[in-house]
Amino acid sequence: MKARRNWILIALAVLVVLGVLWWLLVGRVAPTLAAAAYLVVLLLVIRRREYRAAMLVGLAGFVLHLAEAVTGALGRLDGAERVLFAANLVLPLVVGVLALLESRDPSDDSQS
């Protein structure tokens, strides 16, 4: 479904931008690595409709941020970082779920 694919692409692009913004804000390496991973997957989805990679990066991003929230890392964040953290918790889950649905869509004959 084209609408679902577009939402995956939008969410991945937003995650790339958020990763760069977070890096610019705090200067840590982790957001840059995440942005690079999301960028690679964004390109894979655009060029090859590779939804399995989107599912994987979405699940990994969600689990990583969920673990950080559970272990108390959220308490060390302030203002803008909390917003970035929340977006980086929710958007990867959106990417993962939509990619799963898209990969199971029988009308998409590019996945074999």
Q: Over the stretch 78-101, which tens digit does the pLDDT of each residue have?
A: 889 999 999 999 999 999 999 999
Domain residue spans of the chain: 2-103
Q: pLDDT by residue (tens digit) across 19-77?
A: 999 999 999 899 999 999 999 999 999 999 999 999 999 999 999 999 999 998 888 88
Amino acid at position 73, single letter: A
> Rounded to an integer, what is the distance from CA 69 to the centroid of its chain?
17
E-state strands within 45-109: none
Q: Do the Cβ atoms of 87 and 18 come closer than 8 Å?
A: yes
- Asked if residue 111 has pLDDT above 80, the reply is no
Q: What is the pTM of this model?
A: 0.90
